């Protein structure tokens, strides 16, 4: 079958995906697996220090491999040794480590004293992209380099004019939509090169994998950006992009769009434990809506040496190196300690997770980034507080129950505010879930209402 390609929304900044870009995305799980969360999204790890960048692009492409093609504008020429095929588990781990998380706390018996314990969970995933073939000089297209890495045939193109590039792509089986011409022309004038990849079926079968592995590219350029414009051309509605930026100095933010923090720290009704993906999706949408429906949200920013609470262990030295963190000190391969709470380790790597929701209209310009010296830790973290449900036999129990009921009102209010859900519906969901319901308070002697006057005059 001849390659028949279509630009699609699939790969946020790369692009040229084929017709059916089925994206798998597994969402943030709280205990159970499986819900699709942000279903048209891309995942990119960006390692940046000085002018050096290592970009790793996740590839969850699930369609016909003959139709896979990817074109990414890159700031400089790229040679064979600058391209690396990475392990998909790395981005999954990075994603899990930085994912928004739920924390649970359990109240103790108000009639007996204290200990605390926490638990949490989460995870995420994403994306797709696509590729090309050749002819040349007469079209003003130069194949700067051409090589096979892993399961990919890669070409690095430079072009003098967009028409030639369009023709070249077209002759090689890409159906590039009309609008692409202008955008390609703009990139050509900005002296960008084009990184084009497609699957080498022979090599692919040798790997024995069902899936395509991520491509990592290392280059040096003062430009710290992600080209998203091509990806928005044929986009059907909004797209989600996850950027995991790893730096030495601190947080990464966008310079041409406002980076905001995702709401965090709220206490929520405990039934959310089984609805965390729904909750998070609604909360994200509501936050974005308050800013016009789109935006750049920081979901996580943390020193890679530790976490608290940990959604997953911090990445090991080997994993970081594989992702392209090149400034790790030469050390004697100390393994990272495993466990639920990792104590600070001098990794000298700061990770920022940005969740960008965009469309062509609200994000006309490519994303530009900047590393700041801000080492403040931040995480999207939501709290569930379980009331003590056991038998309570003491005076304090009534006060405790009143306090818990009040707390539950607040939790529902907070949830409604974060997600724009209707409060009455939340209460009925709580009722349905059967967890975290309000206490029915019975007062001594069977009369209703509070008994504060008893404290004044005594209980006679």
Partner 1 sequence: MNIGVKTNAKGGRLRRLFADPRNYQISVLSSLILLGLFRYGLHLPWWHVAGCVGATLTTQFAADKVIKRPFDPRSPLISALSLTLLLRTGSVTLSIAAGVIAIASKYLIRWRGKHIFNPANFGLVLLSLTFGAAWISPGQWGQATLFALLLLALGGVVTGKAKRWDVSLSLLGFYAALVFGRAVWLGDPLAIPIHQMQSGALLIFAFFMISDPKTTPDSRFGRVLFAGLVATVGFSIQFLLFNAAGIILALILCAPLVPFIDHLFPSGRYQWPTQFSLSRKSVTGDSHETLTPAE
Residue from 64, 318, 365, 410 in contact with partner 1 (CB under 8 A): 365
Nearer to partner 1, 52 or 407 (CB): 52
Which two tokens mark 26?
Answer: 């597994």
Enter the DSSP assignment of 10. S
Spatial distance between the Cα atoms of 424 and 40, rounded to a whole number of angstroms: 31
Nearer to partner 1, 182 or 454 (CB): 182
Nearer to partner 1, 224 or 279 (CB): 224
Work out how close the CB of 97 gets to partner 1 at its nearest, in angstroms, rounded to a whole number: 23
Beta strands in 227-376 (DSSP E): 239-247, 252-254, 259-261, 267-268, 295-303, 350-358, 367-371
Residue from 4, 39, 148, 190 in contact with partner 1 (CB under 8 A): 190
Tell me how many residues contact partner 1 (CB under 8 A): 31
Work out how close the CB of 348 gets to partner 1 at its nearest, in angstroms, rounded to a whole number: 13
Beta strands in 59-191 (DSSP E): 69-74, 83-85, 101-106, 119-121, 141-149, 152-159, 174-175
Q: Which stretch binds partner 1 (CB under 8 A): 206-214, 321-329, 335-343, 374-382?
A: 374-382
From the number of C-beta atoms within 10 Å of its C-beta (0-12, 13-18, 19+), residue 309 rates as middle
- Per CB under 8 A, 264 contacts partner 1: no
Nearer to partner 1, 10 or 367 (CB): 367
Work out how close the CB of 255 gets to partner 1 at its nearest, in angstroms, rounded to a whole number: 4
> Which string of DSSP letters, residue by residue, matches 303-330?
ETT-BSS-SSPPPPHHHHHHHT------
Work out how close the CB of 294 gets to partner 1 at its nearest, in angstroms, rounded to a whole number: 11
Spatial distance between the Cα atoms of 362 and 135, rounded to a whole number of angstroms: 37
Window 200-259: residues binding partner 1 (CB under 8 A)? 222-224, 249-250, 253-259
- Per CB under 8 A, 364 contacts partner 1: yes
- Per CB under 8 A, 372 contacts partner 1: yes
Work out how close the CB of 356 gets to partner 1 at its nearest, in angstroms, rounded to a whole number: 12
CB 120 within 8 A of CB 399: no
Nearer to partner 1, 221 or 428 (CB): 221
Enter the DSSP assignment of 27. -
CB 244 within 8 A of CB 365: no
Q: Which stretch binds partner 1 (CB under 8 A): 119-127, 332-340, 373-381, 407-415?
A: 373-381
- Rg of the chain on CA atoms, in Å: 26
Query: ∠ at Cα 275 (271, 276), nearest 5°?
Result: 105
Q: Which stretch binds partner 1 (CB under 8 A): 22-30, 361-369, 427-435, 439-447?
A: 361-369
Spatial distance between the Cα atoms of 237 and 10, rounded to a whole number of angstroms: 11
Q: What angle in degrees, to the nearest 10, is found between the helix axes of 162-171 and 180-189?
A: 120
Q: What angle in degrees, to the nearest 10, is found between the helix axes of 276-289 and 396-419?
A: 50
Q: Which stretch binds partner 1 (CB under 8 A): 40-48, 205-213, 364-372, 434-442?
A: 364-372
H or E element: which one contains 457? helix 452-457
Work out how close the CB of 258 gets to partner 1 at its nearest, in angstroms, rounded to a whole number: 3
- Per CB under 8 A, 321 contacts partner 1: no
Residue from 62, 66, 260, 286 in contact with partner 1 (CB under 8 A): 260
- Per CB under 8 A, 376 contacts partner 1: yes
The b/e string for 109-145 (b: 16+ C-beta within 10 A; e otherwise) is: bbeeeeeeeeebbbbbbbbbbbbbbeeeeebbbbeeb
- Per CB under 8 A, 368 contacts partner 1: yes
Residue from 237, 292, 339, 344 in contact with partner 1 (CB under 8 A): 292
Enter the DSSP assignment of 348. -
Nearer to partner 1, 20 or 190 (CB): 190
Work out how close the CB of 328 gets to partner 1 at its nearest, in angstroms, rounded to a whole number: 19
H or E element: which one contains 205? helix 201-207
Work out how close the CB of 448 gets to partner 1 at its nearest, in angstroms, rounded to a whole number: 42
Q: x-or-dash pattern for partner 1, window 133-172, by CB under 8 A?
A: ----------------------------------------
- Per CB under 8 A, 76 contacts partner 1: no
Q: How many CB atoms lie within 10 A of CB 34?
A: 8
Nearer to partner 1, 238 or 253 (CB): 253
- Per CB under 8 A, 459 contacts partner 1: no
Q: Which residues bind partner 1 (CB under 8 A)?
A: 182, 185-186, 189-190, 222-224, 249-250, 253-261, 291-292, 361, 364-365, 368, 370, 372-376
């Amino acid at each position: 079958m001849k390659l028949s390609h279509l630009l699609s929304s699939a790969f946020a900044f790369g692009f040229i995906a084929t017709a059916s870009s089925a994206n798998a995305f597994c969402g943030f799980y709280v205990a159970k697996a499986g819900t699709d969360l942000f279903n048209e999204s891309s995942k990119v790890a960006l390692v940046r220090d000085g002018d050096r960048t290592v970009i790793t692009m996740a590839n969850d492409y699930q369609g016909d491999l003959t139709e896979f093609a990817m074109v990414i504008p890159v700031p400089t020429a790229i040679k064979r040794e600058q391209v690396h095929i990475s392990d998909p588990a790395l981005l999954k781990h990075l994603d899990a480590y930085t994912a928004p998380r739920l924390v649970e706390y359990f109240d103790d018996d108000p009639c007996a004293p204290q200990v605390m314990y926490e638990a949490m969970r989460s995870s995420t995933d994403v994306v797709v992209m696509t590729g090309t073939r050749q002819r040349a000089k007469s079209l003003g297209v130069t194949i700067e380099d051409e090589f096979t890495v892993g399961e990919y045939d890669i070409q690095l193109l430079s072009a003098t004019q967009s028409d030639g590039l369009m023709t070249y792509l077209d002759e090689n089986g890409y159906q590039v939509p009309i609008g692409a011409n202008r955008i390609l022309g703009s990139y050509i004038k900005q002296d960008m090169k084009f990184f084009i990849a497609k699957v080498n079926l022979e090599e692919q079968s040798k790997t024995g994998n069902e899936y395509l592995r991520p491509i990592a590219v290392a280059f040096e350029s003062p430009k710290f950006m992600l080209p998203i414009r091509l990806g928005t051309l044929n986009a059907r509605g909004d797209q989600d992009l996850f950027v995991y930026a790893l730096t030495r100095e601190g947080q990464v933010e966008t310079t041409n769009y406002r980076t905001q923090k995702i709401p965090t720290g709220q206490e929520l009704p405990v039934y959310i434990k089984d609805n965390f993906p729904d909750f998070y999706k609604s909360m994200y949408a509501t936050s974005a809506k308050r800013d016009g429906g789109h935006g750049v949200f920081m979901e996580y920013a943390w020193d890679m040496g530790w976490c608290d609470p940990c959604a997953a262990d911090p990445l090991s030295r080997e994993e970081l190196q594989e992702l392209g963190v090149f400034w790790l000190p030469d050390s004697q391969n100390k393994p990272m300690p495993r466990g639920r709470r990792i104590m600070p380790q001098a990794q000298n790597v700061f990770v920022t997770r940005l969740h960008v929701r965009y469309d062509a209209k609200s994000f006309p310009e490519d994303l530009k980034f900047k590393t700041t010296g801000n080492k403040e830790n931040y995480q999207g973290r939501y709290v569930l507080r379980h009331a003590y449900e056991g038998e309570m036999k003491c005076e304090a129990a009534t006060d405790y129950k009143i306090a818990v009921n009040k707390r539950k009102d607040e939790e529902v209010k907070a949830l409604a505010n974060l997600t724009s859900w209707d409060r009455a519906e939340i209460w009925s969901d709580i009722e349905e879930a059967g967890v975290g319901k309000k206490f029915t308070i019975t007062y001594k002697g069977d009369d209703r209402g509070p008994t504060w006057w008893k404290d004044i005059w005594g209980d006679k």
